[in-house]
Structure 1
Amino acid sequence: MIRVLLVDDQRLVRAGLRMLCDSAPDVETVGEASNGHEAVRAVDEHRPDVVLMDLRMPGMDGTTATGRILARHRNARIVVVTTFDDDEHLYGALSAGAYGFLLKDSAPEDLLDAVRRAAAGEPPFSPTVLRRVVGRATERHRATVPTTLPPLTPRERDVLVLLAQGHGNADIAHLLHLGVTTVKTHVGSLLAKTGTDNRVRLALLAHAAGLL
């Protein structure tokens, strides 16, 4: 069971997120918070697997709360769920250590998928947000990002392209008619072959190499 903490200053939003999370057989809402101060205390109390964090809240905002939570619980997986996707909010949250970033207009099934991905160690990003992160990183570090990839099998290349487009393992498995375990094996092989340590860096390499 994936234990989730909901952090949002709007009671109606929290109620909707709770209904969605509790409708899934493998997800359980263990607590709620309406601001950053409450969020820090709630993580201390409940030790959730995943925190769904709003950004704009009174008292202490989500970015500050993210940094304080991670200072106390370095392995906490905080996924931002917000209306605002401007650079200030996006990169501020990522700099604070947010594990993923979703927009509130995401489909309900995408949010549940993000919770599962975060719990499984797979940082979730809305596809539009991932493209912006990768695009900005490519521009800032163009000279140091390799533009060629090590030899890949055709299937590894297929997986890499879909990963760089923002798809999770379950989506990739469905699109390529593979098992999720097989996709995880391919992702692990891609990480090893490229010498990278996370999916965002793999996506960056795919963009720099011209696969998209």
Structure 2
Amino acid sequence: MTDPVRVVLVDDHVLFRTGLEVVLGADPRVEVVGQAADGVAAVEVARAARPDIVILDLRLPGCSGLECCRRIRDELPDTQVLVLTASDAEDDLVAALRAGAGGYLVKDGDPAELVEAVLGLREGRSIVPPDLAARALTDLARFDRQAAAGPIGQLTPREREVLALVALGLRNREIAARLFIAENTAKNHVQRVLTKLGMSSRAEAAAFAVRAGLLSPS
């Protein structure tokens, strides 16, 4: 049996954190291993608990959710960050992805969606609601395409294939099956792509792939 996903909750509203703990704790595949009410404490709790996923709000006292995300990703590269916030603004989504978040959800979503996002993020999926991602493309398109084309030139043809499949939300195992390579080889390709592009999450790379024209949004 697969070990439960270990999660730390970060939000300055204790009632909201309690609600999240109830929702997540009701699923045996998820285990809440820590909580924090501000950004500074969140980094300390994550450092001590070393969870699989930190769920955090963007609006936090102490240090912002974006800064908190950056610190956690820098110190704990194996820990993913799922932003759960009230904002559905495109700018906030893009900023969160650039800070290293692997997923982004809005607080008015269905509780079941949160559980599935946590499980999906652990499996390597990029977690961004399709409607929000589509709207974010408008913001991303404002960037100069030449800036997007430059880093793409650093990738080998195989790495460009892998990046496109990451953008489609495929996991390492699924990428391996699609390209007829070993899963560990697919994992290494993904890591090299992220390194070459200077990115810290699959979600950020997925947004970049669309911006660079590797695939069209559905």
**CA distance in structure 1 between the aligned counterparts of 2:91 and 2:142, rounded to whole angstroms:** 17
Q: Aligned pair 1:45/2:61, yes or no?
A: no
Q: Which has the higher contact order (CA 8 A, sep 6+)?
A: 2
8 Å CA contact retained: 1:138, 1:208: no
CA contact under 8 A between 1:134 and 1:207: conserved in structure 2? no
The 8 Å contact of residues 7 and 54 in structure 1, kept in 2 or not, is answered as yes
Gaps of 5+ in 1: 151-159, 170-180
CA deviation map 1:131-166 (0-9, x unaligned): 1333433453556679xxx9xxxxxxxxx8xx85xx
- Assess, with a 3 A threshold, how the Cα gap between structure 1 residues 95 and 45 changes in structure 2: closer, same or farther: same
Cα distance in 2 for partners of 1:24, 1:202 equals 34
Deviations 1:48-74 (A, max 9, x none): 001101111222221111111122112
Is the 1:9–1:33 Cα contact (8 Å) retained in structure 2? Answer: yes
Partner AA of 1:204 in structure 2: V
Residues 134 and 217, structure 2, Cα contact 8 Å, conserved in 1 = no
Cα distance, 1:9 vs structure 2: 0.3
2-side partners of 1:141 and 1:84: how far apart? 26
Q: Could you say which residue in structure 2 is the equivalent of 1:89?
A: 92
Alignment-derived partner of residue 189 in structure 1: 178
Please report the RMSD computed on the Cα atoms of aligned residues, expressed in angstroms: 3.3
What percentage of aligned pairs have identical amino acids? 32
Give the match for residue 204 of structure 1: 210
Residue 176 of structure 1 corresponds to none
Corresponding position of 1:153: none
1:115 corresponds to which residue? 118
Q: Which letter does structure 1 place at the counterpart of 2:210?
A: L
CA displacement 1:170-211 (0-9 Å, x = unmatched): xxxxxxxxxxx9x95368527x9xx98556259728987557
* Gap runs ≥5 in structure 2: 158-164, 182-188, 194-201
Q: Are positions 1:65 and 2:54 aligned together?
A: no
Call closer, same or farther: CA 1:92–1:206 in 2, change over 3 Å: closer
Q: Tell me the CA shift for residue 34 of structure 1.
A: 0.4
| Matched residues, number | 181
Residue in structure 1 matched with residue 135 of structure 2 by the alignment: 132
- Given the two structures, how large is their TM-score scaled by the length of structure 2? 0.69
Q: Which moved more, 1:110-119 or 1:126-135?
A: 126-135
